[in-house]
Chain A
Amino acid sequence: MEMTGARILMEGLLRERVEHIFGYAGATICPIMDALMETPEIGYTLVRTEQNAGHMASGYARITGKVGVCIVTSGPGATNLITGIATAYMDSIPMVAITGQVPSNLLGRDIFQEVDITGAVTPFTKHNYLVKDAAQLPRVLKEAFYIASTGRPGPVLIDIPVDIQEQVVPDVTFPEEVHIRGYKPSVRGNDLQIKRVAEAISQAKQPLICAGGGVWLAQAREELVALAERYAIPVVKTMMGISLLPVDHPLNMGMIGAHGNRCANKALAKSDLLIMVGTRAADRAIISPDEIQRRMATIHIDVDPAEIGKNMQAAIPLVGDVKVILQQLLALEVPAPDAAAWRACLKEYRRAELTREFPRREGSVFPGTVLRKLGWRLDDDAVVCVDVGQNQIFACKYLPQKHGRLLTSGGLGTMGYALPAAIGVKVARPDRQTVVVCGDGSFQMAMNELAAIRCADMDIKIVLFRNHVLGLVHQLQKAEPYHGPYGVALDGSPDFESIAAAYGIPSMVADDEDKLDETLDRFLGTRGSCVLICEVHPDVGTND
């Protein structure tokens, strides 16, 4: 059949079962927008800056397990999207980003709105394509979605010159399968290694599972919990794995790391066998990998062979799909480790952390207190999108998890991630309760997207911690070796109630802990979106 490049693109997207695209139009994607208009099966959200198209696609991908798709124009549209792509890359989010490009015969001449976007994103895309013949588009699309979603997922960019979008291909065929010689992700774990892992587990006295975002990516939550429960192994999580276990699960030991829960870090320090599952053991989670290696045996399960030995040298590496490997492990029966004493000791640490008393200050609320009360009130499967800064640390440490999700930018720590990610979640799952937790700095990086909320009449509850500073940096600057806060006061910030009102969104203020229960009930009970502005003292620290 005869088709234009733009039509081929739509057809290919439909074949990949794409239902929604986040984007921003411009001259070099006009043929695609034209084709999209005639493709009612695919929904479209106009973002307010391209970076957020990436974040929305990320939220969408994380909640559906499907590939998130975004599309922007060439030049500034493409460069604006870079942060969204890099954020997705660092968290291994499956994404296909499509960029318009100047006409192919003018490439390299620095004409209006030309940038070498494939060159620019090479370090943080899993792969990228510059399409110079529309006949290649069916194959490129098939490959792009396959690469983005298999093995260790990640963003793939397709750059399509505007003339290629208009090029007529006489006889289009779509491939059913992909053949990429150099891309064959491992799936099954090596049986011998699986056996060694099982034996190590059964001989350990103080085993500990450290679960990361890779468990979510492999959709292996059930298997992880099953393994932990079968052998009664306590579980700590990285920021990316945070919501894998509910707060009241007896094996849940919280989040490890520089900003983690004390109980989790204590468990990590004392364990004799660390089983890392789907985590790269980056600096924020595992502060001193050398020390860990010296003190305990380590098992590292990951789909990406390059993660083995990158940050930490594991005694037993196990490469393959996390879900498949966990199933292989579950298929083996070994005696459970004798670790009752270990669990009893950890339980005590955990109790101390959960009942920890937070400080109070007149005229303000403490984030930990708000989040604790908030979490218990949320739906069992609520999705909470968390921004970056003190608000992130507090939420990851203290927000009680049920069986929902906590989505945050763990790898890149991109301020302004939460609001657009929540919009992506809501587009995919309108019925799931969706909450944003952010700071007054991060909110101002993304508040233009309130328009997308307004436009689609979404129900997103936004908890905004107003401490009038870039809190986490403020906290850092107050400690050695720095000489005090500078350039972190958010003077000139708007009145957030008026901002919300301007978008037709109601808001309320929480500045009294005695009234907090009632305020939270009112906030969550509001129909549609609502902003809760929590007054937080600027001197509050994440270790208070």
Chain B
Amino acid sequence: MKQTISVLVENRAGVLNRITSLFSRRAFNIDSLAVGVTDDLTLSRITIIVDNGNSVVEQVEKQLNKLVEVIKVRTLDESSLIGRELMIIKVSANKNNREQIMTICNICGAKVADISPTSMTMELSDTPDRVRTFEDMMRPYNILEVARTGVIALQKGGGKI
């Protein structure tokens, strides 16, 4: 089962290394990991998606908590989280198929970020599922390059971790 772990850490060099080495040592596979600074500039939020058993995730959570630079760790409740991922995708495009691609973009809510005589580059920020659907829809147009940020997430409602 996929689980989303949200970690608040000191915004300092070396922190990410400590966190990832915790995972690699226990052979936990990280599906995705996204880091960014928070409203408090001394803190970063790391969102980690793992696909492991419950007891494993519990142990990871405890080990993360032991790190001196980790302030808070929380496994987010899947049913009430807002998870988003940004994808930038570049496909081959020309005057014959631009219209079709635009139609798909409109349906999926993607925006065109760049265009050239032989290509189009779209951006989409959405749930990982819908990002994947859009990517699948782009496959017939010869995907040239894809970049995804990994999921960032917050819990719904007024609370904070």
Contacts and interface: CB of A to CB of B under 8 A. Distances in A.
Contacts of A525: none
Contacts of A305: 62, 65
Nearest to A308: B62
A306 B59 contact: yes
Contacts of A126: 68
Given A118-B14, A119-B17, A309-B59, A181 B66 contact: no
Mostly, the B contact residues are helix
B63 A306 contact: yes
A130 interface: yes
A310 B17 contact: no
A64 interface: no
B124 interface: no
Contacts of A123: 21, 25
Nearest to A132: B13
Nearest to B73: A182
A357 to B, nearest CB: 46
Given A118-B14, A306-B59, A182 B70 contact: yes
Contacts of A306: 59, 62-63, 65-66
A132 to B, nearest CB: 9
A482 interface: no
A1 interface: no
B21 A122 contact: yes
A476 B95 CA distance: 75
A305 B70 CA distance: 15
A486 interface: no
Given A122-B21, A123-B25, A306-B66, A182 B9 contact: yes
Given A181-B10, A305-B65, A310 B59 contact: yes
A126 B68 CA distance: 8
Interface in A95-120: 118-119
Interface in A165-202: 180-183
B18 interface: yes
Interface residues of B, number: 20
A182 B18 CA distance: 14
A310 B60 CA distance: 10
B71 interface: yes
Interface in B46-75: 55, 58-59, 62-63, 65-72
A122 B17 contact: yes
A219 to B, nearest CB: 22
B1 to A, nearest CB: 19
A181 B69 CA distance: 8
Interface string A296-307: 000000001110
B5 to A, nearest CB: 15
B15 to A, nearest CB: 10
A127 interface: yes
Given A306-B62, A310-B59, A130 B68 contact: no
B130 to A, nearest CB: 35
B14 A130 contact: yes
Contact of B68 (A182, A304, A309): A182
Given A122-B18, A309-B55, A309-B59, A304 B71 contact: no
A182 B10 contact: yes
A304 B63 CA distance: 10
A182 B72 CA distance: 7
A127 B68 contact: yes
B99 to A, nearest CB: 51
Contact of A147 (B9, B10, B68): B68
Interface string B65-102: 11111111000000000000000000000000000000
A131 B123 CA distance: 41
Contacts of B65: 305-306
A308 B61 CA distance: 12
B94 to A, nearest CB: 46
A181 B71 contact: yes
B27 to A, nearest CB: 13
B17 A180 contact: no
A207 B24 CA distance: 39
Interface in B18-44: 18, 21, 25
9 closest cross-chain pairs (CB), A and B: A306-B62, A182-B71, A127-B68, A183-B68, A182-B70, A181-B71, A182-B69, A122-B21, A306-B63
Given A147-B68, A182-B70, A306-B66, 11 more contacts: A119-B17, A126-B68, A127-B67, A181-B71, A182-B10, A182-B67, A182-B69, A182-B72, A306-B59, A306-B62, A310-B62
Interface of A: 118-119, 122-123, 126-127, 130, 147, 180-183, 304-306, 308-310
27 contacts: A119-B17, A122-B17, A122-B21, A123-B21, A123-B25, A126-B68, A127-B67, A127-B68, A130-B14, A181-B10, A181-B71, A182-B9, A182-B10, A182-B67, A182-B68, A182-B69, A182-B70, A182-B71, A183-B68, A305-B65, A306-B59, A306-B62, A306-B65, A308-B62, A309-B55, A309-B58, A310-B62
